[in-house]
Structure 1
Amino acid sequence: MAFVPAPGYQPTYNPTLPYNRPIPGGLNIGMSVYIQGVAKEKMRRFHVNFAVGQDEGADVAFHFNPRFDGWDKVVFNTKQGGQWGEEEKKRSMPFNKGTHFELVFMVLAEHYKVVVNGNPFYEFKHRLPLQMVTHLQVDGDLELQSINFLGGQPPAYPGPMNAPSYPRPGYNPQQMNSLPIMGGPPTFNPPVPYTGKLHGGLTARRTIIIKGFVLPTAKRLMINFKVGSSGDIALHINPRMGEGVVRNSFLNRAWGSEEKNISYNPFRPGQFFDLSIRCGMDRFKIFANGQHLFDYSHRFPAFHLVDTLEITGDLTLSYVQI
């Protein structure tokens, strides 16, 4: 069964290094790039490049380069015309050797905003127009778990202040217009417990994305798709550490029979997860980290009345798209 991404959600799971691929639709304001991985025990350095082209010697609009070298720091720079510009440095290391991390680049009008493990880390002002950036490059002493391109809407045409003096390599207007758009603004790093309103209720083919981190001491967490007016729960997802993932419904003030069969449990203490929940006409389809996890047949046929998403338990949330 194929994984169907949500609109505006472009995931790649377990990519190999070096990673050097086109950015779907090109880079534009409002996009976010999520990178999840593990810093190697013997990490010395790695880099993330927003590159102008695919070649090894291509210019780089934004070079992000953590270095463990006795004077631990992160270096930021731009490569233009084959020459590196003036380095910016922050003598603070947000990565720990041998541990998982989540690195987010938010593309804003005046700068890239870098967030590490949910904490704002740095802002790097644009030195090259966004329209010139075509590829994302990642390499170094790390293991990648996922790279996701989220949201953003290409402008109808490049504005006069940001327009490059020449078309970017591989520029294709049709490709830009084909980039899926998010149905609504995502929520970054919301607090837990989380409650979100599903405006318009659940509809067939609507997909909910939840990205988060299971705390090292976690025992349980819960995700509920709920009817706010009655308290009915159409779908209750209850990962239990060391046991599995329990599914159920709470209808007419009573729990139904639990469903427990599952091939694997992606919710492990100390690790990130990426959950996609798709509502179909007769069932929910749930994917975790790009793999099909389980189906859950509707026990509440009027799923369009489901208007609330609740998330609680021993976790932190990094991204919710409803």
Structure 2
Amino acid sequence: MPSPMELELKNVELHAGDRVQVKGKIMHDAERFQIDLGSDTNNLALHFNPRFPNDTGEATLVCNSKDGGCWGAEQREKHLNLQRGSLVKIVLKLMGDMFEVELPDGKEFQFPNRHGLDVITYVRVRGDFKCTCFKIC
């Protein structure tokens, strides 16, 4: 079984108005993958984490934040257009006091910038996902 993919960027500078675009393929046997934005692994302003059930149930998107290694309250979204084996483009927009997430079907949702980070310096993509394009704009 291949090991999960991981892309980790440190010392980046993302400010309000910047966007992170991630394109790739969700693995056929995916259980989960994640896109993290913050200052380091223990301090995440946004943890974007689609989870795929072992049975035929629908995927659930879990978003959260982490402060000093402690997770906050999860925000869950259902009825996603994220499926195993599909090619996807996910756009994460930094909007100051919140993040806007655009899913492949055009659906958008918001997640609060709970820690009020003005600058994102850490980005990570990992899990059951093969990243084919990563862009900051």
TM-score (norm 2): 0.87
Aligned-residue offset at 1:43: 1.0
Aligned-residue offset at 1:107: 1.0
Aligned-residue offset at 1:35: 0.3
Percent identical residues = 24
Q: Which residue is 2:100 aligned to?
A: 113
Q: Which residue is 1:40 aligned to?
A: 27
Is 1:95 aligned to 2:82, yes or no? yes
Structure 1 residues 36 and 80: alpha-carbon distance in aligned structure 2, compared to 1, 3 A threshold? same
TM-score (norm 1): 0.39
Q: Which residue is 1:21 aligned to?
A: 9
SS, match of residue 18 in structure 1: strand
Unaligned runs of 5+ in 1: 1-15, 151-322
Answer yes or no: is the 8 Å Cα contact 1:28–1:130 preserved in 2: no
Answer yes or no: is the 8 Å Cα contact 1:113–1:120 preserved in 2: no
Larger fraction in strand: 2
Given candidates 40, 45, 52, the residue that maps to 2:39 is: 52
Answer yes or no: is the 8 Å Cα contact 2:48–2:62 preserved in 1: yes
Given candidates 92, 101, 113, the residue that maps to 1:126 is: 113
Aligned-residue offset at 1:98: 1.0
Q: How far apart in 1 are the matches of 2:11 and 2:93? A: 14
Aligned-residue offset at 1:116: 1.4
Aligned-residue offset at 1:120: 2.8
Q: How far apart in 1 are the matches of 2:58 and 2:5? A: 26
Answer yes or no: is the 8 Å Cα contact 1:106–1:114 preserved in 2: yes
Given candidates 7, 14, 17, the residue that maps to 1:30 is: 17
Runs of 4+ with >2 A deviation: 129-133
Q: Aligned pair count?
A: 131
Bigger relative contact order, structure 1 or 2 (CA pairs below 8 A, ≥6 apart): 2
SS, match of residue 118 in structure 2: helix
RMSD value, Cα? 1.8
Given candidates 92, 111, 130, the residue that maps to 1:143 is: 130
Answer yes or no: is the 8 Å Cα contact 2:92–2:101 preserved in 1: yes
Q: How far apart in 2 are the matches of 1:116 and 1:66? A: 11
Can you list the C-alpha shifts for 1:236-260, whole angstroms capped at 9, x where unaligned? xxxxxxxxxxxxxxxxxxxxxxxxx
Aligned-residue offset at 1:95: 1.1
Answer yes or no: is the 8 Å Cα contact 2:58–2:79 preserved in 1: no
Q: How far apart in 1 are the matches of 2:36 and 2:106? A: 21
